[in-house]
Amino acid sequence: MSSPVIDPRSTHAAGVERLLESYRAVPPTASVRLAKPTSNLFRTRVKPNARGLVTSGLVGVLAVDPEARTADVGGMCTYENLVAATLPHGLAPLVVPQLKTITLGGAVTGLGIESTAFRNGLPHESVLEMDILTGAGEVVTASPGENDDLYRAFPNSYGTLGYAVRLRIELEVVEPFVALRHLRFHSIADLVSAMDRIVQTPALDGERVDYLDGVVFSAGESYLCAGTRTAESGPVSDYTGQQIYYRSIRHDDGITHDRLTVRDYLWRWDTDWFWCSATFGAQLPWIRRLWPRSLRCSSFYGKLMRFERRFDIGDRIERLGRRPPRERVVQDVEVPIDRCAEYLDWFLTTVPIAPIWLCPLRLRGDAWPLYPLRPLQTYVNVGFWSTVPVGATEGETNRLIEHKVTEVRGHKSLYSDAYYSQKEFSELYGGETYRRVKKRFDPDARLLDLYAKVVQRR
């Protein structure tokens, strides 16, 4: 007997009902959060006992339309599952954030980025419409033509205006392979100039560039990684085993070449969490051979990190070695490209963290109020994820970074620790617009305020 066909839309509708029931069950005075098995936030909650909403029915892909190049997706669907559904059609989301467990709803409400952002903008710009559970306990549709104020304010609101239940997004054509060129630079200024030229063209030595990011190892060693979609078959590299992707891009001079399947390219950073798997010894050859491949991924490293934070293992080790505790510096910032070399020079002489990830981006359309990057302006996402010795005040290095980012007219993502005053925060992150939309869609303040959530970590 054949198994019954399960309708994804019926499953999703039932999931929405369970979500609403769980929301109604939360007492009016209790905090609300999503009951998610994974998280890509790096903030430690001061009060982690909020009631979790049931999201188990919102994890699927409802439909892929190859002709319209769109997908309807549950808000808690991971990009890993979304890409698995679109690649058989030769399609992919316009921007696929670098870690498999990032959800589509999370990338829209909390921002996301990857190497197509220089031509496709940020993930929320490809959203055609979305259904959102608001603080009022209602599911409303938001699009450029319906509840436009919520649609525009939702990106960078981090669940404080509501939760995405369903999203319809644009897709783009991809090829089976990505041909890579890794360019070595001996000065940061030269790398930034080359990045700017590629973004404007977009080409390198007359060949189209579809994907672009970079890595800085030091002031004298940095790389651009330019990728081109191709259907040409041939040998491909595998960085899910013993070989490590970020190490493969390093060379003495000039350009080196590589090839990956499009799937492996999209997840090239996930296997080693960029380079952060080294923290757990996963890059040591003898440990790597013993480490199960299925656990060589960002989701497992994230669990290890949360375990470490829960029991303060790192600080205990530092104390045993008679060393000061460490301050976590896990941040992504957007810097205008004309100030990028200045920012990187400052960072490399001020903050003892390397490597550093670079990813250029340009908005596709108008500015978005809660993360007001300027249209037609190229920015560079600068990502750095490590720890430094604690300073004289709490978050000393993070505060220095915030000040410098504001000085160079940039913006800082809010997925990790933030230390802004309430006045600074309101000026930087669309305070008046946020308050107006918050009042309309969460009139009783059932959901946390954005400042309370991301700065006060409630």
- 438 beta partners: none
pLDDT at 458 over 70: yes
Reported as a single tens digit per residue, the pLDDT across 418-427 is: 999 999 999 9
| Separation between Cα atoms, residue 142 and residue 282, nearest integer Å | 43
- 381 beta partners: 334, 359
Per-residue model confidence (pLDDT) at position 44: 63
* Residues ≥6 apart with Cβ < 8 Å to 385: 274, 276, 329, 330, 331, 353
Same fold, 8-174+438-454 and 312-419: no
| pLDDT interval class at 37 (50, 70, 90) | low
| Separation between Cα atoms, residue 98 and residue 96, nearest integer Å | 6
pLDDT at 355 over 70: yes
pLDDT at 415 over 70: yes
CA 14 vs CA 8, 17, 376: distances in Å: 10, 5, 42
Name residue 174's amino acid: V
Reported as a single tens digit per residue, the pLDDT across 226-259 is: 999 999 989 999 999 999 999 999 999 999 999 9
- The average pLDDT across 291-315 equals 85
| Separation between Cα atoms, residue 164 and residue 139, nearest integer Å | 9
Average pLDDT over all residues of the chain: 93
Cis bond upstream, residue 375 (ω within 30): no
- The average pLDDT across 29-49 equals 65
pLDDT at 374 over 70: yes
Half-sphere exposure of 87 (CA within 13 A, CB side): 16
H, E, C per residue of the chain: CCCCCCCHHHHHHHHHHHHHHHHHCCCCCCCEEECCCCCCCCCCCCCCCCEEECCHHHCCEEEEECCCCEEEEECCCEHHHHHHHHHHHCEEECCCCCCCCCEHHHHHHCCCCCCCHHHHCCHHHHEEEEEEEECCCCEEEEECCECHHHHHHCCCCCCCCEEEEEEEEEEEECCCEEEEEEEEECCHHHHHHHHHHHHHCCEECCEECCEEEEEEEECCEEEEEEEEEECCCCCCCCCCCCCCHHHHCCCCCCEEEEEEEHHHHHCCCCCCCCCHHHHHCCCCHHHHHHCCHHHCCHHHHHHHHHHHHHHCHHHHHHHHCCCCCEEEEEEEEEEEHHHHHHHHHHHHHHCCCCCEEEEEECCCCCCECCECCCCCCCEEEEEEEEEEECCCCCCHHHHHHHHHHHHCCCEECCCCCCCCCHHHHHHHCCHHHHHHHHHHHCCCCCCCCHHHHHCCCC
For 8-174+438-454, which CATH class?
Answer: alpha beta
The structural architecture, per CATH, of the domain 312-419 is: 2-Layer Sandwich (3.30)
- The average pLDDT across 102-131 equals 97
| Separation between Cα atoms, residue 84 and residue 337, nearest integer Å | 34
| pLDDT interval class at 71 (50, 70, 90) | very high
| Separation between Cα atoms, residue 150 and residue 147, nearest integer Å | 6
| pLDDT interval class at 316 (50, 70, 90) | confident
Which has more pLDDT, 170 or 323? 170
* Residues ≥6 apart with Cβ < 8 Å to 82: 61, 71, 73, 93, 104
Q: What are the residue ranges spanned by the domains of the chain?
A: 8-174+438-454, 177-268, 312-419
| pLDDT interval class at 46 (50, 70, 90) | low
The maximal CA–CA distance of the chain, rounded, in angstroms, is: 69
Reported as a single tens digit per residue, the pLDDT across 78-106 is: 999 999 999 999 999 999 999 999 999 99
Per-residue model confidence (pLDDT) at position 325: 85
- The average pLDDT across 419-441 equals 96
Q: Are 359 and 317 in contact (CB under 8 A)?
A: no
pLDDT at 41 over 70: no
Burial class (CB in 10 A: 0-12, 13-18, 19+), 261: middle
Reported as a single tens digit per residue, the pLDDT across 199-221 is: 999 999 999 999 999 999 999 99
